[in-house]
Every structure is written in structure tokens, then in C-alpha cells.
Structure 1
Amino acid sequence: MAKNQKLVLIDGHSILHRAFYGVQDLTNAQGLHTNAIYGFLNIMFRFLEEEKPDYLAVAFDVHAPTFRHQMYEPYKGTRKPMPEELREQVPVMKDVLRAMRVVIVEQEGLEADDILGTLAKKAQAEGMEVTLISGDRDLLQVADEHIKIRIPKTKMGKTEVEDYYPEDVQAAYQVTPIQFIDLKALMGDTADNIPGVPKVGQKTATELMVQYGSLENIYAHVEEITKKSIRESLIQNRELADLSKVLATIRVDSDVELDYDAAKAEGFYTQEAYDLFKQLEFKQMLSRFEKENVSRGGDIAKTFRKLEEQKEFLGWLKKRKAGSDLGLFLALEDGKLLGAAASSREETVVYILPVQENVQLSLFEEIPGEGTGNTDAADADMRQLSDGLLALSERVKLSVFDIKRYYRYIAQESTDKYFDILIAAYLLNPLKSDYDLEAIAAEHLGLTIPGRGEIFGKKKLHEAAALMPEQFAEYCCYGAYVSAAVAEVLEKKLEKAGMDKLMRDMEMPLSLVLYDMEREGVEVRREELKAYGDALVERIEELEQSIHAQAGVKFNINSPKQLGEVLFDTMKLPGGKKTKTGYSTAADVL
């Protein structure tokens, strides 16, 4: 183990739980539920690709009391039992990880948070960079200069990730990671059944922490607190506050150790893992095991050729035989064409437009030279290139990445000869959040290619084209090569999944419709929209009157507090659950 290496730690139960509720129900032929396992693996693969760690480990809770339960018996006592559909996936998830040679760390008496906190702090002390993956914000207290907390969140089917270093915790919660413990001690935590101080919610707790800095300092100045109810609650519940702080504190000094030799982030795709993936019917993931496809992008780059003259590039395009397959990549930024690359797989060529000839095209502009009457040399060259691309699209089968951006340069009569690798990758795995070229190459070709950031950093495309033409040319070539190489693989996978007709007859034609809609706009009939809005308002009023009639009293239906009082006090309905602010009106209660 050396300094400057990276360790990724995953909160097993937390991510599995998040995946279970974020992925639609899946079962294999034996009736085993697999959605949580599938979602977990997708999340793990994503972070492996993003973080590129040297070491990897997953921590799980052990089904046994911890030191916190011994201190406070009701700890986590309000949690609902794990759904059976999720429970049955836990041992299988562990089997999958073991088959992939991923180290699992668990220890009786400790929660996964304690294991993660301890391993993270020890690794940082030894000079390593650490990334913690969890859905649990309790771990924010562990964030440090070399410890990053990453919290994946799923919204509308898309996974977004919140990253926290100490400064991010401060920005989000107005406290440091260490102070986050005291914040939780004051406000409590209903999820873990940590009591906190009665009458002190997140807002009050934050104000107190900002003013006094720690739980101990708050009590040292408790008589200065002006709000009587808060002051008295703090005084009366000092023992509860101290207990809550102990319960909320993640142990970072436990005796748990990590075997770094076993935890090396390599050799995941074993035969045993392959057999398990097949048994679980994770067909889209099996390509990761196709070792004959695994190669480095650097070897492919040797086949790239930069053409200095537009005439030479157009000549290469003209030599392509009718009906042949070709990958095309256009470097576009703000409607401006900066470069074009084409690949037959055996050979990939690229032409970068001279900076002064980069002609601006907005979504609503025609290609220069088409009806503009402009005879400027740059426009003439641009028209020649556009004509060459149009002629190519009428003659060969084109594979591209994000075809909507290409339609202004290619024939639009039919999509029969076009294949969009971005759409295909999404259809095969709609649960991912990233579908860039690097991700598609890695998942479907087993190919590692450098990302845009690796090639030319944070520069915009036009800056890279002007300042780093060789690197920019390489970027374009990778786009064309991957588009050409992955098309056949994706087509076969779509056919196996029974989605080839969906791709050909629905998705590809729809892309052209969407392009036209974006270019032409959509007509809005204001009168009809207003009439529909008025009808909705009328229906809402009818429903409100009906609700008030059934309740026997008028109240604000949009107020959870008033709704709870009407349901459980006025109407005496069973099942009411009181919280600090009144009756709960959560979906499961209703």
C-alpha cells in the first residue's frame, strides 16, 4: 500500500436499500427478486469507472445488537422490518460480491457506519485518498480533507450524486463535519430513533450551533437563550442530549482492519461471477466478461489519421462504398461545426476546420450557402463539407452518437440507414445516469478510452480545437471509432432483448420528429389551454366542497396539520400517528 492511492468504501445495506426502491421490480426465472442487486451493481460500476480506485471494500451491518442498543434499547426501534423482497437479496448480493473478489467487511457489535468511519480515517492517516459511497447522511461527520462522501440520489429515474468534503458540509448545513454530530444530537433522528432534545428541530439546532459551536458550549451558555421553551427543554433534557450525541457519533477508532492485498480493485470478472450474473439474468452486464473484447484505447489511437486538407477528407468520404458501415462524429459546440471524423474501424480519419472557418450555425439557421447568397470563401468551404456529409449519408449506413445534433448535416428523408448508439445504450440500460462515449465503450466493448477531460482538461471545444489541435483530433477520432465499433454489438443486444423493432421503427424516427419540433417549435393554442385550466379549477372546487361536506368542517386541505386534525380528531379515523408538529399525513399513514 502506497501513499496517494485511492480507497473506495461502499455502505452495503444503504446502497442496496436505495437500489431496491429506485429500480423497478425484477425477478429471474426462479422467481428471485433481483432489482436491488441489479441497481447496486450499476451504482458500483459507475463509481468504479469514475473513481478508478486502487482498493475497494463493502461494509455491511450484522444482524445483532450494537453498543448503541446496549446504551439505549429503543435505538432504531421505530424502523419498519425490511421487505421480504429485499431481505432475500442480501445474501445473494454478498455471494455476487465474493464471486467478484470484492472484500466484504462486517463485525458484530459495530454498524457499517462505524466500520466505514474507522477504515476511512485509518486510510487517510496512511496517506490515501478515500471515497465513501452511502445514502446515509450520518457519514457526513466523517468528511475530511482526503475523505469525500458521495451520496447517490435518484430523481425521476435519473441518479444524481451529491459530493461532500468538509467545505461542502459547511455550505449545506452551516456546521463542520464534527459539529454535524452535535447538530444531530440536538434535533434527533427519527430514522434511527435518536431522541434529541424535545422542541428543538433542525432550524433551531442549526441556529444554536452557529451561535455557540458545540453542544457543550450551548449548555455553558444555556441561560442566555432567549426563547423560554427552548431554554427550559435544553435544561430539562441534558442527559437526553448527551445520550443522543453518543448515539449519533460514528466510531472512527474501532479495531476493524482491512486486508489491502485482498481489497485490490482488480480481477472482478471471474468465471464464478459470470455464472452468477447469468443465473440472475443480468444479460446487459455479461459483456463486461467478454475478455476477447478488452483492450486499451491507446492501441486503437495508432489507427487514427489527421487530414490537413478538407479536400483530402472529402475524397476519403467519397471512396466509401455504397451500403458500407461507417461511424461518424461531428464536434459541435453552440451550433458551430469544429471538426468531423469518420471511421470504418480499420481506419479513422479526422478533419479539423481552421479556426477562422468555424462558421456559426444556430438551431434555426440554414447551412451557409443555402439561399444566403453568401460567396465568402469560408462559407463556400463549409458548404462543400456539408454537401460531402449529406452525400455520404445518402450512400452508407451511419452510426453516430446523439443523432439529433447531426440532422442538419445529413439526409432527413428516412432514418433507415442511421443508428444512434446513445439511444441504443439507453434502451439496453435505462437505469444509468451517464451515457457518454467512455461509458458506452467500457460497458459494451470492454474498451477503456480517455474522456474529454483527460484529453484536454476543462477547455471548451473551440478552445481545444484552436490551442490543442492534435488532442482535439484524437477526441474526435475516438468518437467516430466507438460509434463504428459498438454499433454491431448494440444491434445484437437489442435483437436479443427483443427491442430491435422498437429501436428501428419507433426511437430512430422519433429522433427526427424531435429534431423538427426543436427547430420549428410547437404551436400553443392559448384559448384551449385556458379552457382546460378553468375546467381543472372547477373540478378542484367541486372536490373541495365534497371533502368539506364529508368532514363536516371547512379547512385548508393543503395544510398537513389541519388535514391530520380533521382526519384523526374530528372524524376519529383510526391509525393516527403523532409527530412533533402534529399528525403524520405520510402516504403509508393515509
Structure 2
Amino acid sequence: MGDKKRKVLLIDGNSIVNRAFYAMPPLTNSSGLHTNAVFGFTTMLLKVLEEEKPTHLLVAFDAGKTTFRHEGYSEYKGGRQKTPPELSEQFPLLKELLVSFSIAQFELPGYEADDIIGTLTRLAEEQGHEAVVVSGDKDMLQLASERVTVLLTRKGVSEVERYTPDEIGEKYGLRPEQIIDLKGLMGDASDNIPGVPGVGEKTALKLLAEYGTVENVLEHMGEIKGKLGENIRSHHEDARMSKRLATIFREVPLERTLDELEWKGYNAAELAAAFRKLEFKSLIERLDLSSAAAGAAETDDAEAARAAAAYETVWVRGPADWKALNEALPQAEALLVESHGDNPHESEGIGLAIAAGGRVFALPYASLTAEEAGPLRDWLADADAAKTGCDLHRAELVLARSGIALRGLAFDVQLAAYLLDPTDADPSLAGLLARQGLPAIATDEAVFGKGAKFRVPDDEALAAHLAAKADAVRRLAGPLAEELDKAGMRTLYYELEQPLSVILAGMEKQGITVKAEALEELGKEFQSGIERTMGEIYRLAGFEFNIGSTKQLGEVLFDKLGLPVIKKTKTGYSTDAEVLEKLEPYHEIVRLILHYRTLTKLQSTYIEGLLKEIRPEDGKIHTYYRQTIAATGRLSSQFPNLQNIPIRLEEGRQIRKAFVPSEPGWHILAADYSQIELRVLAHISGDEGLKEAFRNEMDVHTKTAMDVFGVPADQVDSNMRRQAKAVNFGIVYGISDYGLSQNLNITRKDAAAFIEQYFNAFPGVRKYMDDIVAQARQDGYVATLLGRRRYLPDIRASNYNLRSFAERTAMNTPIQGTAADIIKLAMVRMDETLKARGLQSRMLLQVHDELVFEVPPDELETMTALVPEVMAGAFPLDVPLKADVNVGVNWYEAK
């Protein structure tokens, strides 16, 4: 181009893509690929191309996580969260699209996009050309000069703000080179640049107006009075380092010259094909590429036909197979880990399959530990290699048993399908394919057999089945991701359930230490109590009998002692818990029988049961949390179920004494949400009376009793409060007058009157109940505040019982489900916070509304304040969330 004036447009790729991703609404194409960041970037690009009309053009990207800045300060950008998989999967799409635009792109290991752009603006200035920089990062303002203009994106990427040295002076009172001094003083939380504590933009600008540079501020720091002066003197090295970190390096060893960035426009057919693949129909119309798109369609249809062809199954055995698999790993589309056994902590691995391109690689599980599998193990452990699979949580636990890490979990078809229908009876891959109307595969039972008949088939049959399952994952991922988008559950999936899956696996692998000797000691106490209670029962009955036999117990209670018969079954008298509770006032023996049953259950289920679950290698219990069982969204705990340890009785609470920290001198910290479901009810219903109780930190049951019985607080007795509490919690669960009458041992008529009084006192709750049932009847489902859905097919049923149950479910699901979502959200936030602060404390358990941690002594004060703060701030409600915290040397003391 000779000496002709050039206009060089330099775009900060990472910055703009990030801003576009968070500014644009969710968007996927029909293949399930997320495209919102690419779409936002492209609209910005088209606008800037139109307005700036550049002769030369480059999009610069960051090449990796580590740059030369990390050498001097390892924490640089350390606070940043991991890039969401739905954003990271868009970078290859964008880079491919830039090729279609014929736009140069560049990245260089060890440097950031800022440094590449800084170097190119220097070269443009030196050669007398004009440069325009587009970024979302204010750091770029330091590059502004007579020849360099910086465009900063505003409102996401839809608008840009122009900055020349004059405009920087007008807005900040600074010269462009002072932007780095500004950062040096105030720091930058997004890049983990510390700056000086207590110095914000306003203070930093004031200091620079007086002293000009960071160095000059530090020369005069002895003169600066008060806390500000003290902070500057204590953190002067941080200020110097922060300025260094914020300074764009303008001497990057580039292999490219400005000449190579010449842009002559795009090829219409190529760009049309790219837009068509991404399904950017509006951009095809905007650039009038329709005729070019039609030509590209034939090519696309041919590609689609090839993609629909049957995949090739490769049973990985010899060196050539391993080489092919290792080369295909970067293109992996689906991962399948097959294992046998209900408890993944003990399951046997069977095989593994990876779908990549037109092939599916299958291999026996045992070969994962072979030397040739090194690259595969590295890929499995690579957090940046996104994995799509089925029940990835289980896969992570199974692989961990073999010492193999699984990271980078991006999309789980089973978890997605659960969100789309939490009541689905068949969450297997075969079931999910049937539900989506996709071609079927053989069921696991057909291939492996069931129960005692389970067997692993020969290599050929195993390879075929593993490959079919991996291909099924690949086929399901797109439609399920699209359904999540349509149902408004994208955020729920990617920001809650998927990250939680990884957190739960980490907790499960960590486990909780349980002292066998403490359980055994407690077991001896229970046994003594059982024997004493048996002696008392025999004394009152007048003879010995089998207390565990319903027939013999019935004869003692009803024939010998003449107690009133409450209920009969086909085989004789009923002696279930409900019957015994009603008989308790009639005879002392009934209380003893109930006590005997409690102690024997504690002994068999919890003492003996938990002792079997303690792992000899580490002295810990490792439970297994299931995310896809409860229709309300609650977690389920299995092998063993730690959510069922009884805490209403002192004997049951004693079991928690055996749960202790795994490190000497550490503490157990337990934090329990206070009345979370009632707080959610107050928020959802908007009832002013309930909201007032929580806002004023009143005892909500006393408040309910006051309003229902029409008495002041000092006249509420314990019985009134007990009844009010039963109604409060009953309402949350959609209780009927019959259910309440059973709970309070009152007549059904009195219970109905009580409920009516409650609704009169809290009209907002009645309106919520009526409205939510009407809404469910219209929509066929109800949703939590976070968008979790539960479908209610019986809400329009003609059968009264089915319809009534669906109506009660409609009332309580948004409350219970939101409470479940909130504690899950608290777990995700807690995990992020522990990592961000570099704390050693560990989250060990979730039990209903309670989180349990083990905490070193030097973090006790921090955690006692931090945990309730994070839990209270997990989700904004119209009433405050509150978490009660207790600390002890064991779980019992932390209650």
C-alpha cells in the first residue's frame, strides 16, 4: 500500500467476547452450541467496521492463563472465576468465524491481548498511521495519543464510548499515561491487582491531581495524614507493583508486521455459510447475504448427510488405536464411563467410550491405567477440556477409586433431563432417547443382565454397547440443552446444578471422620437402655414375650391389658407408631414400647449401620449425594443416608458425637438455616404479617399464635405456640384439615377452623395458595424462584384424590423447592468463597437446611462470621435469610 495512510483497527478479543457473553441473552443453535457471545461480538464488529472503515484489522486473544506478569506476582488474576463452559465453547466458533470474515487473529504465549495491541499501536504511531483500539477494559486508555483512539464498550457491546487524550482529561483530569498510576493506587479487583486498601477512584484521582504519579505520592507519603497516609505507608510496595501490573507491555516480539493485517473485506459466500452454520439469520438479512447463503446450503446439506451416517466403533487395543484415540481427544463430543454397583465409592469400572467425529472409541476399564493411556488420563484431568457425559458425578467418583481425576465437566445429559422432568421414571440413556423421540439403543439390562445375573459380555458386544451409549450422549446433548433454554432453566443448570455436582463429588471424596470407638461406646449405652426397658415392659405385662412381634405385642396390649383397639389389619391388631402414640395416655407400657423401638432402631440402623460404613483406610464415612432423585430439588444421601440421623430425641443427637474433624485441633462448624421455608413463604406470598415477623426478628410461631388466637405476645402459652407451629409448617406442606387434626390430636372440625383462622390472619398466604393452584392448572407445572419446574399432570384430573394431591404439591413445591435451591446456591457460593480466600476449612456435609464444615483453629473466627454471611446472602428475599452457627469438637457440640 506504499506510503498511503492506514487505519489500523485492533480488537481485544477476550474482553469483547466476555462482555458479549454476559450482556446477551442465552442463545443456542439447533445443535445445542451456545452462540450468544459470538453473536454479540459479531454485531459489535459489524458496527465498528461500518463506522471506522479500517484498512488493517486484527483481533488479539490471550494465549493462556499464565503471562510474564505472573512471574512477579503469582496471584495476578487469581480471583477470577473459571470461564463458564458455555462461554469457553464459543471461542473456537468465533475464531472460525473470523476466518470467514478474512480478519487476522493473533495470540502469543506469555502475553495478553493488551500487550499485543499495545505493541501494534506503538508501531502504527511510529509509522505515522492512525490506530483505533476496541476493548471493554479501561486499562487500554493508557494507549490513547494523537494517533491512537480507544473505543470502550458500554451497555454490554451495543454502544462504544470514544476516548482521545482530550476526552480522558475531561473525564478523569488525567493524561493517558496516568491511567496506570490510577490503577496503581486503587487496584483492580477483576485482575486481583491489590492497590492501596481504602483507596477508590475518587481518592486516587485526588492524590494524582496533587502529586501526579504513584512514585511522587510515595515520595510524599510521610506528609499524608490519617488512615489514608497510614495505608499508603503500609502498602507502598503494593502500589508500585500494582502500577507495574497495570502497565501494558509495548515491546512484544511479534512475528507479524502491520502490512500483514491488511483487510480487503469478506467473501460473501464464505461468510454466509458461517452465519448459516451458526443460525444467525438476522445477520444474513442485515448484510443481504441471502443469495450467497442459498449457494452454501447445498454444501451444508451434504455435510449434514455425512454427519448422520453411522459412526465407526474402534475397540482400543493396539498402538494404532491408541494413537488414533489420543489424536481425536481434542475433538471429543461425549464421554461415557460404565461401572457396576449402586454405590459409586465401591463400584467396579467396566469400560469407557469417547465419541469424536465419526468414530466412537471404546476400551475396557482396566486399560485406563496402562502406559499408553497417559494422554487419555491427562485429557480426563484437564479442566479446560469440556466433557459432555451421562451421570458425570458418578463417573468422577468411579475414576477417583483408580486414582484418575475427572475435571472439566461441562454438560450432563442425565442432570439436564432431571431438571426438565424431575418425576421421569426412566432416567437411563435408553429412556431419555425414547422421551426425545430419537433412535433407540439396547438397555443395560438387555446387555449386562440384572442383579445376580449381571455379567460383562465379550469385547465385541461390550464395545458396541459402550459406543452406542456414548453416541446417545452426543445425540441427546443438543436437544436437552435447547430444552433447558426454552424452559428458562439455563442459569439453574449452569450456575447451580452442574457446579454443585462437582462440589458434591469433592465432599464425598473428602468424607467425614467418624470415631468407631465413640459409636461402640454409645452402642453399649443403648444396649443397656434396651435391656432395662425390656425388663420394665416384661414387669408391666406380667411375662416375657417378643416385643418385636406385632402379633404377640397386640395380644399383650389389647387382650391382656384391655387397651382400646384403634386399628385392625387383615392379620390382626395394628401396633404401628400412629396407634401407639394414641394409646400412650392409657398405659405406662406404651411409652416404654415406643422408647424400646427408638433404641433398637438407633442401635441397628445407626450404630451398627454406621460402623459398617467407616472405611478402614481413612476412618471416614463417604456418603453419596444424589441430585436427580427428589422431585422438589432436595439432595438425597445414600450409602449411608446421613440425612436421617434422628435429632429430635437426645439419644439420636448423641450419635453426632462420633462425627469429628479429620485433623487434630480442628473444630466442627455447623450452620443451619433458620425457618427457611417459612421465610420463602413470606417472600412468595408477599403476606405483610409474615414479612413483618421476620423483618422484626419476632418468633414467627408466637406471631402466628398472636394473630390466630387474637392475643398479645405475653398471653401466648406453650400450647398455643405448639399449635401455631404445626399450622405454620403444615401450610408449607399443603396440609389438609385431616392432617392437622392428626398432628395436633384435635377434631377435624377444629383443625378446619384453625386453618380458616390462619388464612384470615394471613390473607396473603391464602391468595398465594389459590393463585398457585390456578397457575398450575393453566401451565401444567409450578416453578421455584430459581426456575426449577415440577410438572403436575394430575392437576386437572377428574379423580378428587389425585387432583387434591396435585394441588397440595402445587402449593408446597415452590416453597420447598426454593428452599432446596437456596441451600444449594449457598454451597456453590461457599465453595467459591473458600477457594477465593485460600481457606483450609472444608465443607463436609449437607443435611436438610444445615451445612457442616471442619475448620482449623486459626480460621474459626473467620468462618464463624463468613458462613452465616454467605448463607444469608445466597439469594435475595423480601425478608432476611438467617443461619445459626455452632462450633464444637464434634458434630453434636456444634448444634
Q: TM-score, normalised by structure 2?
A: 0.34
In structure 1, list runs of 5 or more residues that go unmatched. Answer: 294-538, 553-567
The aligned residue for residue 84 of structure 1 is 85
Find the partner of 1:548 among 695, 714, 726: 695
Deviation readout 1:409-441 (Å, 9 max, x if unpaired): xxxxxxxxxxxxxxxxxxxxxxxxxxxxxxxxx
The aligned residue for residue 368 of structure 1 is none
Aligned equivalents of 2:90, 2:200: Cα separation in 1: 36
Aligned equivalents of 2:45, 2:124: Cα separation in 1: 20
Distance 1:586 1:253, change over 3 A: farther
By how many angstroms is 1:66 displaced?
A: 0.3
Aligned equivalents of 2:58, 2:117: Cα separation in 1: 9
Q: What SS does the corresponding residue of 1:243 show, helix, strand or coil?
A: helix
By how many angstroms is 1:4 displaced?
A: 3.0
The aligned residue for residue 221 of structure 1 is 220
The aligned residue for residue 724 of structure 2 is none
Q: How does 1:102-501 map to 2 (within 5 A)?
A: 102-154=103-155, 159-226=158-225, 228-287=226-285, 288=287, 290=289
Deviation readout 1:68-94 (Å, 9 max, x if unpaired): 111111110101111111110001110
Aligned equivalents of 1:30, 1:183: Cα separation in 2: 46
Aligned equivalents of 1:51, 1:92: Cα separation in 2: 25
Distance 1:125 1:574, change over 3 A: same
By how many angstroms is 1:541 displaced?
A: 7.8
Q: What SS does the corresponding residue of 1:191 show, helix, strand or coil?
A: helix
By how many angstroms is 1:114 displaced?
A: 0.7
Distance 1:212 1:261, change over 3 A: closer
Partner amino acid for 2:83? M
Q: Tell me if the contact between 2:268 and 2:289 (Cα under 8 Å) persists in the aligned partners.
A: no
Deviation readout 1:137-183 (Å, 9 max, x if unpaired): 1111111111111112227xx92321111121122222211111011
Q: Tell me if the contact between 1:186 and 1:244 (Cα under 8 Å) persists in the aligned partners.
A: yes
Q: Tell me if the contact between 1:181 and 1:248 (Cα under 8 Å) persists in the aligned partners.
A: yes
By how many angstroms is 1:44 displaced?
A: 0.1
The aligned residue for residue 336 of structure 1 is none
Aligned equivalents of 1:166, 1:541: Cα separation in 2: 55
Distance 1:290 1:92, change over 3 A: closer
By how many angstroms is 1:284 displaced?
A: 2.1
The aligned residue for residue 8 of structure 1 is 9
By how many angstroms is 1:286 displaced?
A: 2.3
Distance 1:285 1:571, change over 3 A: same
Q: Tell me if the contact between 2:272 and 2:290 (Cα under 8 Å) persists in the aligned partners.
A: no
By how many angstroms is 1:586 displaced?
A: 9.6
- The CA RMSD measured in Å over matched residues stands at 3.2
Q: What SS does the corresponding residue of 2:271 show, helix, strand or coil?
A: helix
Aligned equivalents of 1:224, 1:260: Cα separation in 2: 48
Q: Tell me if the contact between 1:274 and 1:289 (Cα under 8 Å) persists in the aligned partners.
A: no
By how many angstroms is 1:260 displaced?
A: 3.6
Distance 1:281 1:75, change over 3 A: same
Deviation readout 1:308-341 (Å, 9 max, x if unpaired): xxxxxxxxxxxxxxxxxxxxxxxxxxxxxxxxxx
Distance 1:3 1:222, change over 3 A: farther
Q: What SS does the corresponding residue of 2:263 show, helix, strand or coil?
A: coil
Deviation readout 1:548-583 (Å, 9 max, x if unpaired): 22489xxxxxxxxxxxxxxx99996736479xxxx9
Partner amino acid for 1:117? G
By how many angstroms is 1:202 displaced?
A: 1.9
Distance 1:161 1:587, change over 3 A: farther
Find the partner of 1:574 among 867, 880, 883: 867
Q: Tell me if the contact between 1:551 and 1:571 (Cα under 8 Å) persists in the aligned partners.
A: no
Q: Tell me if the contact between 1:57 and 1:105 (Cα under 8 Å) persists in the aligned partners.
A: yes
Q: Tell me if the contact between 1:186 and 1:205 (Cα under 8 Å) persists in the aligned partners.
A: yes
Q: What SS does the corresponding residue of 1:574 show, helix, strand or coil?
A: helix
Q: Tell me if the contact between 1:64 and 1:108 (Cα under 8 Å) persists in the aligned partners.
A: no
Number of positions where the alignment pairs a residue of Structure 1 with one of Structure 2: 323
Distance 1:573 1:63, change over 3 A: closer
Q: What SS does the corresponding residue of 1:203 show, helix, strand or coil?
A: helix
Q: Tell me if the contact between 1:3 and 1:126 (Cα under 8 Å) persists in the aligned partners.
A: no
By how many angstroms is 1:274 displaced?
A: 2.6
Aligned equivalents of 1:25, 1:76: Cα separation in 2: 26
Partner amino acid for 1:574? V
Deviation readout 1:265-299 (Å, 9 max, x if unpaired): 22313533332211111112224364989xxxxxx
Q: What SS does the corresponding residue of 2:155 show, helix, strand or coil?
A: strand
Aligned equivalents of 2:234, 2:873: Cα separation in 1: 26
Distance 1:275 1:159, change over 3 A: closer
Distance 1:587 1:177, change over 3 A: farther
Partner amino acid for 2:229? R
Q: Tell me if the contact between 2:144 and 2:163 (Cα under 8 Å) persists in the aligned partners.
A: yes
Aligned equivalents of 2:289, 2:36: Cα separation in 1: 23
Aligned equivalents of 2:691, 2:263: Cα separation in 1: 59
Q: Tell me if the contact between 2:284 and 2:290 (Cα under 8 Å) persists in the aligned partners.
A: no
Aligned equivalents of 1:172, 1:121: Cα separation in 2: 24
Aligned equivalents of 1:41, 1:256: Cα separation in 2: 26
Q: Using CA pairs under 8 Å that are at least 6 residues apart, name the structure with larger relative contact order, 1 or 2.
A: 1
Partner amino acid for 2:82? P
Distance 1:185 1:234, change over 3 A: same
Partner amino acid for 2:867? P
The aligned residue for residue 419 of structure 1 is none
By how many angstroms is 1:34 displaced?
A: 0.8
Aligned equivalents of 2:246, 2:143: Cα separation in 1: 12
Partner amino acid for 2:187? G
Distance 1:30 1:153, change over 3 A: same
Distance 1:250 1:573, change over 3 A: closer
Aligned equivalents of 1:203, 1:234: Cα separation in 2: 15
Aligned equivalents of 2:155, 2:179: Cα separation in 1: 24
User: Quick one: percent identity of the two aligned structures?
Assistant: 41
Aligned equivalents of 2:687, 2:184: Cα separation in 1: 43
Q: Tell me if the contact between 1:119 and 1:258 (Cα under 8 Å) persists in the aligned partners.
A: no
Distance 1:214 1:3, change over 3 A: farther
Aligned equivalents of 1:540, 1:103: Cα separation in 2: 59
Deviation readout 1:90-128 (Å, 9 max, x if unpaired): 011101102221100111110011111111121122111
Deviation readout 1:337-370 (Å, 9 max, x if unpaired): xxxxxxxxxxxxxxxxxxxxxxxxxxxxxxxxxx
Distance 1:584 1:28, change over 3 A: same
Distance 1:570 1:216, change over 3 A: closer
Distance 1:127 1:269, change over 3 A: same
Q: How does 1:551-566 map to 2 (within 5 A)?
A: none
Aligned equivalents of 1:197, 1:243: Cα separation in 2: 11
Distance 1:224 1:542, change over 3 A: farther
Aligned equivalents of 2:118, 2:154: Cα separation in 1: 21
